[in-house]
Chains A and B, each alone.
Chain A
């Protein structure tokens, strides 16, 4: 075997020399033979001639020797390829359609696979990322808490044995105001423990990581700048290390700058800057001010299982429970420590969607392949004469199959090349389609594994599109093909093969169509879902007064009041208001609620209700309807009796019957500060899901506003005028106060549906592609049917069949195929759409309307696809057709 390979290799590399050797060998033979013959008495010419005759054809001989040396295979291959090019050039329409549709299929598959690869397969851009585990706690009695409190983290950090490292970062955005450098700016940073950067293997580009003692309460304040901020506000100066920067009125020393490529793909992690955590020196459950809910990340030691890790974490919590105050023990009853591999934690929500889309594009490619296979079968039938001639002059069956496979692979190879280019181009679009909070989207690349995938897909397509026609061609009776006329119709078997291919195509397209109509319905349901407020002409942004300059509730209230008054004075502003929470954005708090006259439940047993403090005008600005009672007035400010407004859902749930008005509840505190319910307002949509969030309580600003408030301006002015005016109002009140999170409510509405819109657009796009491809497939088969039955049709027309009957006949044939495909598709869809369940909202996976819509649409399209060949059939001129048939 080895010598054979070497022989082929030698022959290939020294092809010229090889030919020369053979020529030399043969020339010597001829000369010696001729010399012998001349010695026997022949003339020179006669001797040479006889020598040549005796040796036989030099070319045949060379060919045989080549076969022996293993070169013939390669010669034949290059012949096949040249021949295939000729065949493809001869039918340019077929080639362009085939290459185009396959390139589309391969392109979208490649692009989506790069998403699957990045999001689900490839490891995160950290060392040993597979060992990084995310730790959360679930408290069944306080389900709104997401994450371990800082004392648990401290205990783990001190006692955990099965990990190589543990770190934590702040559970929420840590917004800091950058001051003292011109325009004050709101910077979103993250509070981290000193180990975090080391844990994910990040080395600062300049300076150093935080030192271990720097994340302790009372340590000298430090900061690490993000690359973007360093560039934008510090002019990429390498001298920033050691400088002081004023954040929230506090001078912090810059110790490092993050590298450009540092990412931490969690939407709660902000890269603008990092500040160290301020953990107390000892785990302290009683110091409320420094009690934080954290996000905890550990790197487990090699070989430590998730369950073992979980057991150790829970065991440490158990062992240190004696430190906890009784109230905390009650709240944390039945607490569950949960461990999730980091990747799964970060991509959990898009995983399903990405897999569904990958399935969808695989189906589109399958349809494209079936289409080409079907066309190839038709061509194989049409080319029977050519194939039979080649067989007759000595091509073996294997050689013929190889020729057809070469053609398909060549076709797919070109399509694959174009497809990869297409995939590369569509990556940009895909990036914008993925949920924006998913920082992994930035990592989308066409890397070697994606290219390998594209190659595999291309080869698979080549085999699918080549094998079926090759099989059909092989079964052709060569002799009968030679005898038959060129118009031969192909056997029933071949027609059946094409029929099955088209039915499969239609079924696959049907499934995609049903899937996409389910997603369209979801989007429409969400988009038309009752909002409970009117978003038009409402501009909102956030203000967060620095706790240093506004340390108490009274100062904050005065600050907000001043802004509110100035905002109301902006010409063109109809209503200005402040709210601690906002529809679509949320930001509502969660407060335990007790009801006067009912038994007090234990701590942790009170219902937790979203609440927000709002200023006068809040309900008017958002046009949230008042159903009963009254809205807040100036006189509701303390020290008047405390009041509250609840929404309708709350009133119905907790005061069955609706006599909530005038009843008293306590919100948050347990000090007997009973609030009278003075009004009942409509429910609003707080999140992007289909269901209205059930409960809400609105409080007047009697206890001071929340530290962060939304300013809400209802106006007819365009945002371009309103935003600068509003910013000026805020800066008049405090020039160091940044304005951020600026958006109209209409923008927020659009954003809230962006995921569903992306799902719908992508799936719709793929379904449309599938529909077009399947249409091409069915119309091709029907056109072929008409062509091959021209004779019958002509006879029918000659015998008096009306044109309508002919059209009906062809349509019947086409719709029968379509119906078979649609039935198969519906059955498949019923089974497959269950996987869509988790991303559908407001519709079920077997939503009848979506199925009916898809069936109707497909039937119409199929009828249209068939009607062109049907009309052509009806225009058959019997005389011409019969004479030429």
Chain B
């Protein structure tokens, strides 16, 4: 198992949006998908997942729809709305800028400052 990292605050929403953008998922599916796409490097607090899903649904980033799961249970599938897609794009841009800035800052050497 690779070493896992705690999430930075505010990144859970972004990860959920990303995971759902790859195709409608129920809650547990979202969890697995995040672990999968992050190479199991990011550890999601399971208790925080569902409030985040509901918050995003309330904010109309996600749309919830009831369907049937792989084990034939009633399951709520989340999919990305247009608003969610826009949000994902802007958050991703912001995140990339932040990462670039952080990388630049951390790569700085003493004589360059």
Residues of A with Cβ closer than 8 Å to B? 3-4, 7, 21-22, 24-29, 31-33, 35, 54-57, 60-61, 64-65, 68-69
B95 close to A (CB within 8 Å): no
Report whether A32 and B69 are in contact in the complex, using a CB–CB cutoff of 8 Å: yes
Bound CA–CA A29/B69 (angstroms):
11
Least CB distance from A50 to B in Å reads: 11
Contacts of B51 in A (CB 8 A): 61, 64-65, 68
Please provide the chain B residues from 11 to 32 with a CB less than 8 Å away from any CB of chain A in the complex: 26-28, 31
Q: Are A28 and B27 closer than 8 Å at their CB atoms?
A: yes
B47 near A29 with CB under 8 A, answer: no
Identify the stretch in B2-10, B54-62, B86-94 within 8 Å (CB) of chain A at 4 or more residues: B54-62
Query: 28 A-B pairs, CB-CB below 8 angstroms?
Result: A3-B58, A3-B60, A7-B58, A24-B73, A25-B26, A25-B50, A25-B75, A25-B76, A26-B50, A28-B26, A28-B69, A29-B28, A32-B28, A32-B71, A33-B28, A33-B46, A35-B71, A54-B46, A55-B46, A55-B47, A56-B45, A60-B47, A61-B50, A65-B50, A65-B51, A68-B54, A68-B55, A68-B58
Complex: A64 Cα to B58 Cα, angstroms: 13
Query: When A and B form their complex, which 7 residue pairs have the shortest distance between CB atoms, in order from nearest?
Result: A56-B47, A64-B51, A32-B28, A29-B28, A54-B46, A65-B54, A55-B46
Whether, in the assembled complex, B74 has its beta carbon less than 8 Å from a beta carbon of chain A, the answer is yes
Q: Which residues of B contact A (CB under 8 A)?
A: 26-28, 31, 45-47, 50-51, 54-55, 58, 60, 66, 69, 71, 73-76
Q: What distance in Å separates the Cβ of A34 from its nearest Cβ neighbour in chain B?
A: 11
State A25–B71 Cα separation when bound (angstroms): 13
In the bound complex, do residue A29 and residue B27 qualify as a contact, i.e. CB atoms below 8 Å apart? yes
Complex contact A69–B58 (CB within 8 A) = yes
Complex: A21 Cα to B67 Cα, angstroms: 12
The smallest beta-carbon distance between B51 and chain A, in angstroms, is 4
Residue of B nearest to A24 (CB): B74
Which of A7, A26, A32 has most chain B Cβ within 10 Å? A32
Q: Please, how many angstroms separate the alpha-carbon atoms of A35 and B50 in the complex?
A: 19
Closest to A29 in B: B28
Min C-beta distance of A712 to chain B, whole Å: 89
- Decide if B76 touches A21 in the complex (CB within 8 Å): yes
Q: How far is the CB of A35 from chain B (nearest CB, A)?
A: 7
In angstroms, Cα B49 to Cα A854, docked, is 72
By the criterion CB–CB under 8 Å, are A28 and B74 in contact? yes
Instruction: Collect the chain A residues with CB atoms within 8 Å of residue B47's CB.
Output: 54-57, 60-61
Give the docked Cα–Cα distance between A60 and B46 (Å).
13
- Chain A residue nearest in CB terms to B74: A24
B69 touches A4 (CB 8 A): no
Query: Closest residue of chain A to B45, judged by CB?
Result: A56
B75 close to A28 (CB less than 8 A): yes
Q: A29-B27, A31-B71, A56-B46 are in contact. List 18 more A-B contacts (CB 8 A).
A: A3-B58, A4-B58, A22-B50, A25-B27, A25-B75, A25-B76, A28-B69, A28-B73, A29-B46, A32-B28, A32-B69, A32-B71, A33-B46, A35-B71, A54-B47, A55-B46, A65-B51, A68-B58
Among B46, B66, B71, B74, chain A packs the most CB atoms within 10 A around the CB of B46
Q: How far is the CA of A55 from the CA of B49 in the complex (A)?
A: 9
Q: Is the interface of A mostly helix, strand, loop or mixed?
A: helix
Residues in A with CB closer than 8 Å to B69 are: 28, 32
Please give, as numbers and ranges, the residues of chain B lying within 8 Å of A68 by CB-CB distance.
Answer: 51, 54-55, 58
Residue of A nearest to B56 (CB): A68
- B75: nearest chain-A partner, CB-CB: A28
Q: Given the complex of chains A and B, what is the CA–CA distance between A26 and B73 in angstroms?
A: 12
Which of B31, B54, B55, B75 has the most A CB atoms < 10 Å from its CB? Answer: B54
B1 to chain A, nearest CB (A): 11
Give CA–CA (A33, B51) in the complex, Å.
Answer: 18
Q: Measured between alpha carbons, how far is A35 from B73 in the docked complex, in Å?
A: 13
Q: B29 — nearest CB in chain A belongs to which residue?
A: A32
Residues of B within 8 A of A60 (CB): 47
Chain A residues within 8 Å of B54, by CB: 65, 68-69
In the assembled complex, how far is the CB of residue A676 from the closest CB belonging to chain B, in whole angstroms? 104
Distance between A879 CB and nearest chain B CB, rounded to angstroms: 60
Residue of A at shortest CB range from B69?
A28
Most chain A CB inside 10 Å of its own CB: which residue of B47, B55, B69, B76: B47
Q: Give complex CA distance A61, B60 in Å.
A: 20
Report B19 CB to chain A, min CB distance, Å: 15
Closest chain A CB from B82 CB (angstroms):
14
Within the assembled complex, what's the spacing in Å between the Cα atoms of A55 and B66? 21
A56 to B51, CA, bound (A): 12
Which residues of chain A are within 8 angstroms of B58 by Cβ–Cβ distance?
3-4, 7, 68-69
Kindly provide the distance from the CB of B103 to the nearest chain A CB, expressed in whole angstroms: 33
Note all chain A residues with C-beta closer than 8 A to B55: 68
Q: How far is the CA of A24 from the CA of B67 in the complex (A)?
A: 12
Closest to A3 in B: B60
Residues of chain B within 8 A (CB-CB) of A31 are 71, 73
Alpha-carbon distance A28/B67, docked complex (angstroms):
12
Rounded to whole angstroms, the CA-CA distance of A28 and B75 in the bound complex is: 7
What residues on B are CB-neighbors of A57 within 8 Å?
Answer: 47
Which of A24, A27, A29, A60: most chain B CB closer than 10 A? A29
Distance, CA A7 to CA B60, complexed state (A): 11
Tell me the complex Cα distance, A25–B45, Å: 16
Which one of B28, B45, B46, B60 lies within 8 Å of A28 (CB-CB)?
B28
Q: Report chain B residues within 8 Å CB of A25.
A: 26-27, 50, 75-76
Cα-based distance from A31 to B70 in the complex (angstroms): 11
Q: How far is the CA of A507 from the CA of B36 in the complex (A)?
A: 76
Bound state CA distance, A27 and B45, in angstroms?
17
B27 neighbours in A (Cβ, 8 Å): 25, 28-29
Residues of A within 8 A of B46 (CB): 29, 33, 54-56
A51 (CB) vs chain B CBs: closest residue: B46
Q: Tell me, rounded to whole Å, the shortest Cβ–Cβ distance linking A369 to chain B.
A: 41
Q: Which residues of B contact A7 (CB under 8 A)?
A: 58
Q: CB-CB < 8 A to A55: which residues of B?
A: 46-47
Query: A38 → chain B, closest Cβ, in Å?
Result: 13
Closest-CB distance, B27 to chain A (whole angstroms): 5
Which residue of chain A is the closest to B51 with respect to CB atoms? A64
User: How far apart are the CA atoms of A65 and B47 in the complex, in Å?
Assistant: 11
CA distance A461 to B51 in the complex (A): 40
**Docked complex Cα distance between A4 and B57 (Å):** 11
> With A and B bound together, what is the CA distance between A7 and B59 in angstroms?
10
Contacts of B66 in A (CB 8 A): 21
Q: How far is the CA of A61 from the CA of B66 in the complex (A)?
A: 20
Closest to A27 in B: B73
Residues of B within 8 A of A24 (CB): 73-76
The answer for the CA separation of A820 and B111 in the assembled complex, in Å, is 76
Min CB gap B46→A, angstroms: 5
Q: Considering the chains assembled together, what is the distance between the CA atoms of A24 and B75 in angstroms? A: 7
- Nearest chain A CB to B56 CB, angstrom units: 10
- Residues on B with beta carbons closer than 8 Å to the beta carbon of A3: 58, 60
Nearest A residue to B66, CB-CB: A21
- Closest residue of A by beta carbon distance from B47: A56
- Most A CB within 10 A of own CB, among B47, B50, B71: B50
Kindly state the separation between the CA atoms of A378 and B60 in the bound complex, as whole angstroms: 49
Please, how many angstroms separate the alpha-carbon atoms of A96 and B98 in the complex?
Answer: 64
Across-interface contacts of A32 in B (CB, < 8 A): 28, 69, 71
Q: What distance in Å separates the Cβ of A7 from its nearest Cβ neighbour in chain B?
A: 6
Complex Cα distance A65/B51, Å?
5
Q: With CB as the reference atom, state the residue of chain B lying closest to A58.
A: B47
**With the chains together, A69 CA to B66 CA distance in Å?**
18
Give the complex CA separation of A31 and B51 in angstroms: 19
Q: Cα distance A21–B66 when bound, in Å?
A: 9
Chain B residues within an 8 Å CB radius of A28? 26-28, 69, 73-75
Residue among B28, B47, B55, B71 with the most chain A CB within 10 A?
Answer: B28
Bound together, the chains give a CA A69 to CA B53 distance in angstroms of 12
How far does the Cβ of A205 sit from chain B's closest Cβ, in whole Å?
Answer: 63
Complex alpha-carbon distance, A68 and B48, angstroms: 13
- Smallest beta-carbon distance A701→chain B, Å: 97
Contacts of B74 in A (CB 8 A): 24, 28
Cα A27 to Cα B54 with chains together (Å): 16
| Nearest CB in chain A: distance from B75 CB, A | 5
Minimum Cβ distance to chain B for residue A810 (Å): 59
